Amino acid sequence: MDSPAKISIVTPSLNQGSTIEETILSVLAQKDPDFEHIVIDGGSTDETLGVLERFPHLRWVSEDDRGQTDAINKGLEMSTGEIVAYLNSDDVYRPDAFANVRTAFHENETSDVVVGSCDIIDAQSRTVGKYAARLDSRTFLPCFWLWEKNVCIPQPGVFIRRQALEHVGLFDDSYDMAMDFEMWLRLAEYSDFVILDETLAGFRIAPGTKSMTRRADMVLDCYRAAQGYIHFSNEPTRFRMELRRETAGHLLTIAEEHGERPDASRSPAQCAQIAVGIWPPILLSSRAWRIFSGMA
């Protein structure tokens, strides 16, 4: 029997001392025959380093970096496995995740990406929902507004063959919120995705996380990434219009319901300029001007 392909897990970290031990233990619990776990810490000042020191199997560094994407890329460059993935320092793997991934790659030798579902967990690690992995067609992949309806690629459930990563390149560190979404688009041009029924991981959503506090910036990042993959659609002109309309609508809804605009450092006028650039008819919307001028 062939020896199993080595799995490399990269964990970016910054002041997640309250959760990173659970992350590490979830990797160890796989009882995998051949893996490595690399933690790239951005210079934590909490109890993180003390936790890392308790686990001699880890490869880790703690130093300044340019943020999460830079840390992930640094870890991937250090990694040696034929299969790679990244797991944030507040997320976890579910039992038998690695075994399911190995089986999937063995049974789908021509595919380079395996995706499993993820539980949604809260601050106390209780399961409160689920992201069911799905990809009806790569046509839907740039359509962020169809997430969970026609496409769902939950990041902690994604595993990639190194040969695919070497082909498409590392994560684009010009993206702060949607670097994974942009990567899935690049990978979809290179390989089919194997979608598993199994739940591979737990994805933590808790107050204060980026996914909860920077929704508008996430939408803008997704919009920027999706523009480069309009050719996935059979009707590119129609898709381009739909992309603009949906992005503008999401920005307005987020501003109206959460009081959140893209990048808090931007003025309301700059936010309005962004919205108009995405979808010119917004000029005619009194709702849009109330929201983006700060009058809402």
1-55 tens-digit pLDDT: 356 799 999 999 999 999 999 999 999 999 999 999 999 999 999 999 999 999 9
Nearest to 171 by CA among 284, 40, 30, 269: 40
Rounded-to-integer distance, Cα 30 and Cα 226, Å: 35
DSSP code, position 6: P
Q: Domains of the chain (ranges plus CATH)?
A: 7-211 (3.90.550.10), 235-292 (no CATH)
Looking at the predicted structure, is the pLDDT value of residue 146 above 50? Answer: yes
Number of Cβ atoms within 10 Å of the Cβ of 235: 11
Percentage with pLDDT > 90 across the chain: 71
**Which band of pLDDT confidence, cut at 50, 70 and 90, is reported for residue 250?**
confident
Nearest to 180 by CA among 82, 100, 73: 73
25's CB contacts (< 8 A; 6+ apart) are none
Rounded-to-integer distance, Cα 219 and Cα 228, Å: 15
Q: Identify the residue with better confidence: 287 or 244.
A: 244
**Which band of pLDDT confidence, cut at 50, 70 and 90, is reported for residue 248?**
confident
What integer is the mean pLDDT of 107-123?
Answer: 96
On the CB side of 55, CA atoms within 13 Å amount to: 21
Q: Identify the residue with better confidence: 75 or 217.
A: 75
* Contact indicator for 249, 144 with CB cutoff of 8 Å: no
Rounded-to-integer distance, Cα 89 and Cα 140, Å: 29
